[in-house]
Structure 1
Amino acid sequence: MDEFAEALRTAITNRGLGLERLREHLSQNGVSVSLATLSYWQTGRSRPERKKSLQAVVHLEHILQLPPGHLSGLLGSFRPRGRWLRKAPEAMSAFWPSPSHVENVLQDLDTQWDDQLIRVSQQDFVTIGADRTELSFRSRQVLSASMNGPDRWVVIMHVDQHDRPLPQVNALKHCKVGQLVQDPAQGFLVAELLFDRALRKGESIVIEHELVNQAPCPLATNYERKFRLPTHEYVLEVTFEGDAPVSVTQVADGSTVQPGRTLLDVALDVQPGVRGFHWTWT
C-alpha cells in the first residue's frame, strides 16, 4: 500500500476538506495543482515528483494542519541528478567564519559518513523568549544513505557570545547522543547523533534533536543554517514569544522580510551556502 497516498487521504478526511476546497487553498498560496492530480495523489495512482509538486506537498502539510515533513517524509529518498553531482562537497569547516576552529573540534570525531548521507529534508524550529534570548532549537533531518554503513549525524553549533554557557544537546527521535566536543573559549560545540543502527544503501532515516540554552541565554539577533551539501527541502520557523522584531532580512540574499512573531522560510533544491534570518528590535 502507498503510505503517502494513505496518509494524504486520511489527513484530507480528518480536516473535512473536499478536493476543490483544497485546490483553492493551494491556489491562495500561489500553488497550482489540478483536481485530477490531487485525486491521483490520494489514491496512489501517481506521486509528487517534480519540484513544483514537492513544494505543493509542503503547503499541503500546512493546510491540513500536519507536522512539517509528515507527508514529504513518506515520498522516499531523493536521488540527486545533474547539477547536484557536479561539484565535490565542501569541507565540514566551510561557511564558518573561523574554519580552523571547526577543524580543531572535529579532528577527534568520526565524520567519514557525512558525505554519504543525502539530505532529503532539513527542518529547524527556533524559539526566542520574551526577553529576546534564544531559548531552544529543535531540528529534524530526513537522510538517505548513498552506500552501506552511515550510522551517525554530526552537529556543529556556535555561540556568538563566548561568555555564555554552551547549550545542552538532547536526542529526541531515532538517535542518541554520542561523543561531545566543547570549546567554550571559541563558542563551539560538536555532537555525534548516533542512529539506532547503521543504514543500508538506499535506506532512509528521520532523526530529531534539540539544543536547549542554559541561563543566561544568549541574546538572539539571527539564526543561520550552513549547508555544505545540497538539500532537497529546507524549512525554518522562528517563533518569538515576546515582541516581534521591527526589521528582518534574509541571510541568503539580503532581501527584506515582513516582520512578525513567526518567521518562515521554505526552500527546495538548496545549494551549499547559508540560509536564515537576521533581525533587530530597534
Structure 2
Amino acid sequence: MNPDQPESFAEVLTAAIQGRGLSLERIRARLDAAGVPVSIATLSYWQSGRSLPTRSRSYHTLVELERILNLEPGHLTQHTHTADGRTRRELFEWQNVMPSRDLATQIIEDLGIDMQGQLTRVTMHDLLEVDADRKESSLEVRVVWRAERQGLHRWAVVNEQDTDTDGEQSIEPLFGCVLGEVVEAPDRKLLVAEMLAPRPMQRGDLFTSEYRLTFGPSNQPSFRMLRAISDPVKALSLAVRFDPSAVPTNVRAGVQPSLEEEEPADTVPVELARNEAQYVWTDARPGVYSLFWDWD
C-alpha cells in the first residue's frame, strides 16, 4: 500500500478482522444477534472492495461491526467517504453485465431493491421464441434460487430488447413469483421489473421462479440472445426455438466478459435439432453468455 494514500475501507476492514481473529461466519452470527443481519456474501464484498456499505441502513451495521471488532467509534464509517466528504459510489461487478447499466441501476435503487447478498441463482434456463418473420416474440426464464438471508425476498428483472421496436415489452409471472412494480424506458427499450418470492424464505431455502417476457413488434430480424450473470451459476442453459418455416443456417455459442463487446472473440458451433438449438454451461462464471445465428 502507498503510505501517501489513505487506506481504503476494504483494507481497514480486512486488517480489523484479521486482528480480531474472527471468521466471517462468526461476525455474521454476532451481527444477526445484534439485530443488524448481513449475509456472508455482503461481508465478503466489503472486505474485497467489490462494494461499499453506502446505504443509510448500513450505518447501523458499521457501528455494530466496530463494537464486534473492538474498534474506536467511527473507525470504519470514516473510510466510506472520499477526501472531499462525498459518499463513494463504486461500481458493483453486477453492473458491468447489466443492460443500460446507469439507468437500470438508478431504477433499481429507486425501487429499493438490494441486488447483493440476498439470493443466489443455482440454475438458470432461458428459452427464446423466434417467429416466422425471424423476429423475437417471447422469452421464458426459469431460475432455481437459494435464499442467503431469512425473509421475503425481492429481485430485479432487467431486460433491454436487442432490436429496434415500435412497441413495448411486457412481463408475466408464470410460477413461483409475484410481479411488483414495473418501470419502462421505451426510448432505451428497457424494462425493469420488481419480482417477489411467493412466501418468506429461510436461509438456505431453494425455490423455483418462472416468468415470460413478451416483446413488442420488431423492425429487424433476430440474430442473437444474451444472458448476463454477475455470480457463478451451477448450470446455465440458453435455448432458442425457431418457427419451422424460418430456421437459420447455423447457430454458435460464446462468452464475453461484459456487454461492452459486440460479440465473443471465440464461439463454438451449436447443433440445430429441427428448429431448436440449446447450449448448456456448467459452473458458469460471471460474464455475458450468448447464442448467435445466421440467416440465408
Equivalent residue number for residue 240 of structure 1: 242
Aligned AA (1:248):
V
Measure the CA separation in 1 of the matches of 2:202 and 2:219.
Answer: 40
Equivalent residue number for residue 282 of structure 2: 268
Equivalent residue number for residue 205 of structure 1: 207
Q: What whole-Å deviation, never above 9, does each CA across 1:76-108 have from its counterpart, x for those lacking one? A: xxxx9xxxxx97484442224643232233231
Name whichever of 87-96 and 235-244 sits farther off.
87-96
Superposed structure 1 runs of 4+ greater than 6 Å apart: none
- Give the conservation status (yes or no) of the 8 Å contact 2:163–2:218: no
Structure 1: runs of 5 or more not aligned: 1-79, 81-85
Equivalent residue number for residue 119 of structure 1: 121
Give the drift of 1:259: 5.2
Q: What whole-Å deviation, never above 9, does each CA across 1:223-255 have from its counterpart, x for those lacking one? A: 000001111111221111132212332231532
Measure the CA separation in 1 of the matches of 2:116 and 2:166.
Answer: 29
Equivalent residue number for residue 184 of structure 2: 182
Measure the CA separation in 1 of the matches of 2:94 and 2:268.
Answer: 29
Q: In structure 2, do the counterparts of structure 1 residues 198 and 110 end up closer, same or farther at CA, with 3 Å as the change threshold?
A: farther
Aligned AA (2:113):
T
User: Root-mean-square deviation (CA), in Å?
Assistant: 2.5
Measure the CA separation in 2 of the matches of 1:246 and 1:122.
Answer: 27
Q: In structure 2, do the counterparts of structure 1 residues 180 and 218 end up closer, same or farther at CA, with 3 Å as the change threshold?
A: farther
Bigger Rg, structure 1 or 2: 2
Q: What whole-Å deviation, never above 9, does each CA across 1:129-148 have from its counterpart, x for those lacking one? A: 11100111101110011121
Measure the CA separation in 2 of the matches of 1:245 and 1:123.
Answer: 22
Equivalent residue number for residue 193 of structure 2: 191
Give the drift of 1:280: 1.6
Give the drift of 1:162: 4.5
Q: Give the TM-score taking structure 1 as reference length.
A: 0.64
Measure the CA separation in 1 of the matches of 2:285 and 2:151.
Answer: 25
Secondary structure class of the residue paired with 1:127: strand
Equivalent residue number for residue 251 of structure 1: 254
Equivalent residue number for residue 136 of structure 1: 138
Equivalent residue number for residue 149 of structure 1: 151
Name whichever of 136-145 and 107-116 sits farther off.
107-116
Measure the CA separation in 1 of the matches of 2:204 and 2:99.
Answer: 34
Secondary structure class of the residue paired with 1:161: coil
Equivalent residue number for residue 168 of structure 2: 166
Structure 2: runs of 5 or more not aligned: 1-40, 42-46, 52-91, 256-263
Equivalent residue number for residue 227 of structure 2: 225
Percent identical across equivalent pairs?
25
**Alignment length (residue pairs):** 199
Aligned AA (1:265):
Y
Measure the CA separation in 2 of the matches of 1:228 and 1:125.
Answer: 20
Aligned AA (1:187):
K
Aligned AA (1:233):
A
Secondary structure class of the residue paired with 1:263: strand
Q: What whole-Å deviation, never above 9, does each CA across 1:39-67 have from its counterpart, x for those lacking one? A: xxxxxxxxxxxxxxxxxxxxxxxxxxxxx
Name whichever of 137-146 and 234-243 sits farther off.
234-243
Measure the CA separation in 1 of the matches of 2:99 and 2:155.
Answer: 22
- Give the conservation status (yes or no) of the 8 Å contact 1:153–1:194: yes
Aligned AA (1:94):
N
